[in-house]
Amino acid sequence: MDTSEDVLQPLSPDLVRGSETARPAKAARLSPSFISWLQAGPMMLVFLAFFLIPLVFVVIVSFWDYNEYQLLPAFSGRGYTDTFEGCLAQLPDLCTIVRTYLKTLKFCFLVWAITLFIGFWVAYFLAFHIKSKTWQMGLSLLCTIPFWTSNVIRMIAWIPLLGRNGLVNSGLMKTGLIYQPVEWLLFSEFSVVLALVHLFTFFMVVPIFNSMVRIDKSLIEAAYDAGATGLQTLVNVIIPLAKPGIVIGSIFVITIVMGDFITIGVMGGQQIAAAGKIIETRVNALQFPAAAANAVILLVITFLIITMMSRIVDIKKEL
Amino acid sequence: MKEGRPRSFYVLAIFFTAYVLFLYGPMIAIYVLSFQGPQGGLTFPMNGVSTFWIAKLFQGTGIVDLGASFRRSLLLGLVVMVVTVVLSVAAGMAFRRKFKAQSILFYSAIASLIVPSIITSLGISLEFRIVDDLIKAHWNENFETSMGLLTSGLGAHLTWTLPFGLLIMFAIFNRFDPRLEEAARDLGATPWQAFRHVVLPIILPSVIGIGLFGFTLSWDELARSSQAIGAVNTLPLDLQGLTTTVTNPDIYALGTVISAVSFTVITLALGTIHVLNKRQAAKGSDAGQGLV
């Protein structure tokens, strides 16, 4: 007995750790941590070169000086002061730049609220009312496909419907509800919100659906058996359990709308500015530090919203 | 549970149908309108039916050279697809065991997904500008720019497609049974053989899914291309340029053609995934049966 235990003792850690260490020859050639680096390294390099370093450059350049022709690598707060030029003097009236940020936040909130409402009930229907897995797959695919086509096309698709001579206007005129075309349907705040909801509800449906299908159906049965009404089950069982999906979807929608300037530009008839648009305008005027400063401001606002959101739930744990 | 369907089912079914109509209605409208007759305008009613506007696209009469940007978008999409698949599968494999810097990579991917595109785009353009300035100052005064479709443009698109690829890999390996791989190893397979003959065939349908995401996300990408792609235009950029001057149904025709490419890729990918799943079900279903 003693001897056999002695023999097993040095072997057992290897057996537990698995085959990598059980084969010393292989382990000597390529260590597991080296293989991991080899596998994950390329993706890390892409993020380093095209995301992390550019982000650092945005922050650095936002503190550079500039003139009409070039960037001047010297510390300066001009990017920021130019952005808010004249804002203090104008008080108590809000200056254009502050109004633009507030408008972006307003779009953000409206789109978030609407996509959350639609996304929640669409996901709820798919997760709880569709029993067959095939149907569930098919119907979710149906919701996913438009996401795979160009956003610009989905934006301009509203023109024949909402335009002055569009389907909605001509339909309303034919029924005699109105006598002249409604003008605010297209190139207005209404059409901006409509298009944003149309484009991005997908980002709300998918995460909420994902957390809903994971809910154990017996919990809902248990709630009913314990005498809960439908509403009580919804509020006390389903919503708390679907919260991770709701938060992830919300973060997606909010960050997309915060940075969006293309939808707001196209659907607003280039009349409504957004935070992202300020950046584009500054770039076109070759005022890179000012563009970078606005990017930093936008990033900070977005980051604050996300931090508030992720306090509610640990995102990494839920993936 | 109660017999039959509750009333909430019907209410939500109507809600769902309305949502699907809302999703597809406008798109269908422009697909139909792209077949306007030569005299047709931007809105209904149809003024004859023809392929006039689609043909006009391919004649290349417009202000922009759509043929060239079509080829550019296609090339970029294919390169992005291949790179996304290779890097995502590799990184996904890495995440199956613990390694240093794994949380850095994870948070980079998530951050890249949620930092507004315009900021990433601006950052890449600043980075390349600074590199250009350095090259001009130190090596070659006549150097033009290192920005381009397959440098800054490719990088910008990868920051959008790779996070999706990585998340799909997480989802795959969440339900992957590592015992299959161990069995292969016990039978004497090298790590590469185990990957090539055991892991890859099992994950292949989802890998095709990653390719599908890679191509279509790049094909339709706009915000990240806007600052980072250099002097050339992709198809979505041209399309966006056209929206400000839109007077003819040719913009709808362009939309229809772009969508047609997207839908072809989606259909091909889904068809392949379906065939692979069928094959897996037919050939792999009895694995391990009769042993326990």
pLDDT at position B290: 52
Mean pLDDT to the nearest integer, B9-36: 89
Per-residue pLDDT, averaged over A208-233, amounts to: 87
Q: Which residues of chain B neighbour A270 with C-beta distances below 8 Å?
A: 244
pLDDT of residue A144: 85
Among the ranges given (A34-38, A162-166, B27-31, B188-192), the one the predictor scored with the smallest mean pLDDT: A162-166
Closest CB from A40, A53, A157 relative to B29: A157
pLDDT computed for residue B284 by the predictor: 67
Residue B133 CB burial class (10 angstroms; 0-12, 13-18, ≥19): middle
Which residues 39-58 of B are in CB contact (within 8 Å) with A? 42-44
Q: Check CB contact of B94 with chain A, cutoff 8 Å.
A: yes
Find the mean pLDDT for residues B14-40: 86
pLDDT at A93: 74
More confident residue, B73 or A23: B73
Contact between chains at A149 and B105 (C-beta distance less than 8 A): no
Put simply, whether B111 touches A (Cβ < 8 Å) is yes
Query: Any CB–CB contact under 8 A between A136 and chain B?
Result: no
Residue A4 pLDDT greater than 60, yes or no: no
ipTM of the assembly?
Answer: 0.88
User: Does residue A230 belong to the interface with chain B, where contact is any CB pair within 8 Å?
Assistant: yes
Residues in B closer than 8 angstroms to A279, CB to CB, are 118-119, 122
* Closest in A42, A55, A306 to B87, CB measured: A42
pLDDT digits (tens, 9 = 90+) for B40-82: 666 666 777 777 777 777 776 565 677 788 889 999 999 999 9
Residue A292 — very low, low, confident or very high, per pLDDT cuts 50/70/90? very high
Contact B291/B275 with Cβ under 8 angstroms? no
Q: How confident is the model at residue B104 (pLDDT cuts 50, 70, 90)?
A: very high
Q: Percent of chain B, pLDDT > 90?
A: 27
Q: What is the mean pLDDT of chain A?
A: 82
pLDDT tens, residue by residue, B234-247? 888 888 887 777 66
Decide if A40 touches B, using CB distance below 8 A.
yes
Does B266 score more than 50 pLDDT?
yes
Q: In what helix (H) or strand (E) does residue A238 lie, and over which residues does it extend?
A: none
3-state secondary structure chain B: CCCCCCHHHHHHHHHHHHHHHHHHHHHHHHHHHCCECCCCCCCCCCCCECCHHHHHHHHCCCCCCHHHHHHHHHHHHHHHHHHHHHHHHHHHHHCCCCCCCHHHHHHHHHHHHHCCHHHHHHHHHHHHHHHHHHHHHHCCCCCCCCCCHHHHHHHHHHHHHHHHHHHHHHHHHHCCCHHHHHHHHHCCCCHHHHHHHHHHHHHHHHHHHHHHHHHHHHHCCCHHHHHHCCCCCCHHHHHHHHHCCCCCCHHHHHHHHHHHHHHHHHHHHHHHHHHHHHHHHHHHCCCCCCCC
CA distance, residue B60 to nearest chain A CA (Å): 20
Question: What's the pLDDT at A7?
Answer: 40
- Phi/psi at A111 (5° precision): -65, -40
Q: A21 pLDDT exceeds 80?
A: no
What are the chain A neighbours of B117 within 8 Å (beta carbons)? Answer: 259
Q: Cβ contacts (< 8 Å) between A34 and chain B: which residues?
A: none
> Residue B91 and residue A306: Cβ atoms within 8 Å?
no
Q: Which chain A residues are closer than 8 Å to B24 by Cβ?
A: 146
User: Residue B2 pLDDT > 70, yes or no?
Assistant: no
Say whether A156 and B216 touch across the interface (CB within 8 A).
Answer: no
Min distance A142 CA to chain B CA atoms (Å): 8
* Confidence bin at A27 (pLDDT 50/70/90): very low
> Which amino acid is it at A104?
T
Question: Distance between CA atoms of B117 and A120, rounded to whole angstroms?
Answer: 26
Give the minimum alpha-carbon distance from A254 to chain B in angstroms, rounded to a whole number.
9
Asked if B100's CB is within 8 angstroms of A32's CB, the reply is no
A36: pLDDT strictly greater than 80: yes
C-beta atoms of B114 and A118 within 8 A? no
Please check whether residue A309 touches B, CB under 8 A.
no
How many Cβ atoms from other residues are within 10 Å of residue B259's Cβ? 22
In eight-state DSSP terms, residue A1 is: -
pLDDT score for B153: 92
C-alpha to C-alpha distances, A19 to B179, B180, B187, B220, nearest whole angstrom: 12, 13, 12, 45
